[in-house]
């Protein structure tokens, strides 16, 4: 179990990263304070026709990561904020309504990001709408995609807010709140142990005992030794008994 006074690192480095010559280290913008975890980042290598993800081929990146990218690459960033509730007209259920702040960023020679376009939408679904795709078509004409998938250099933790099952089939153990890492592919989230699956999560460790080692009743304030010499903790009633009458086995 990881001790709380020795927290897991907030980033884990990819030791196998093979960076092509001429590429630069680039910080993936983190999610601004107050924005939702559904915010996302994505490289864009082409655009159109149509709308949605199919219209903007690229590679997902997680906010806060460090990646190697070729200068001239475009990064599409969408930050979402809760703006109230709405009703799904098909199911009748309420859901959280979100707005969207969409930015298109250009990777520069020194690894910094230059904002080429910045637009606010009242509804988050517009983040991959016709206007955004049309703008990407125009910007890709000015800044042709250099090609190649990003190389992840350091991955930032995105802590889970609910207990969930680890996404790896070889593990499949529960992940305690805050001890995992959210993996996003747009609207779908999975959870894995952070920084790895090598140690058990506190979610699966037994809760501390609260009952007497001798009689099983609630209370274990007092230290005692039973008739076999086994140390334990007992309630105030059993504490008054001689050791020969106690058995913790």
- The pLDDT value recorded for residue 3 is 34
pLDDT surpasses 60 at 1 = no
| 180 closest CA partner among 166, 169, 199 | 166
- The pLDDT value recorded for residue 4 is 36
Instruction: Work out the percent of the chain whose per-residue pLDDT is above 70.
Output: 90
User: If 0-12 CB within 10 Å is exposed, 13-18 middle and 19+ buried, where does residue 235 land?
Assistant: buried
From residue 235, give the alpha-carbon distance in Å to each of 212, 238, 248.
Answer: 5, 6, 12
Neighbours of 249 (CB within 10 A): 8
User: If 0-12 CB within 10 Å is exposed, 13-18 middle and 19+ buried, where does residue 2 land?
Assistant: middle
Token pair of 96 as six digits: 């959280």
| 221 closest CA partner among 209, 230, 233, 232 | 233
Quote the CA–CA distance of 163 and 179 in Å, as a whole number: 9
Q: Is 36 helix (H, G, I), strand (E, B) or coil?
A: coil
Q: Which residue has the tokens 């009689």?
A: 215
Global pTM? 0.69
- The pLDDT value recorded for residue 11 is 77
Residue of 85 and 114 predicted with greater confidence: 114
Confidence of residue 90 (pLDDT cuts 50, 70, 90): confident
DSSP-derived secondary structure letter, 239:
H
pLDDT tens per residue, range 96-136: 899 999 999 999 999 999 999 999 999 998 999 999 999 99
pLDDT surpasses 60 at 8 = no
* 3 state SS for 8-26: CCCEEECCCCCCCCCCEEE
Helix (H) or strand (E) holding 238: helix 236-239
Quote the CA–CA distance of 76 and 69 in Å, as a whole number: 14
pLDDT surpasses 80 at 207 = no
| 143 closest CA partner among 105, 197, 174, 171 | 105
Length of the chain in terms of residues written? 249
pLDDT tens per residue, range 171-199: 888 999 888 988 865 456 789 999 888 76
User: For 43-171, where are the alpha helices, taking DSSP H only?
Assistant: 130-142
């Amino acid at each position: 179990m990881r001790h709380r006074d020795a927290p897991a690192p907030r980033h884990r480095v990819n030791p196998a990263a093979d960076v092509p010559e001429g590429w630069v280290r680039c910080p993936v913008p983190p999610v601004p304070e107050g924005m939702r975890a559904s915010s996302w980042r994505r490289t864009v290598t082409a655009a159109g026709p149509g709308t949605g993800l199919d219209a903007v081929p690229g590679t997902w990146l997680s906010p806060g990561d460090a990646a190697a990218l070729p200068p001239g690459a475009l990064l599409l960033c969408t930050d979402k904020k809760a703006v109230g509730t709405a009703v799904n007209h098909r199911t009748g259920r309420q859901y959280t309504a979100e707005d969207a702040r969409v930015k298109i960023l250009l990777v520069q020679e020194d690894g910094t990001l230059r904002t080429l376009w910045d637009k606010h939408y009242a509804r988050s679904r517009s983040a991959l709408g016709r206007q955004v795709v049309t703008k990407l078509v125009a910007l890709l004409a000015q800044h042709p995609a250099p090609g190649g998938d990003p190389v992840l250099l350091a991955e930032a933790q995105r802590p889970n807010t609910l207990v969930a099952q680890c996404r790896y089939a070889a593990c499949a153990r529960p992940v305690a709140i805050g001890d995992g890492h959210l993996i996003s592919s747009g609207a779908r989230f999975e959870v894995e142990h952070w920084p790895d699956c090598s140690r058990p999560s506190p979610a699966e460790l037994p809760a501390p005992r609260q009952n007497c080692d001798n009689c099983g009743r609630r209370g274990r304030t007092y230290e005692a030794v039973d008739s076999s010499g086994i140390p334990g903790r007992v309630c105030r009633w059993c504490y008054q008994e001689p050791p020969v009458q106690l058995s913790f086995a």
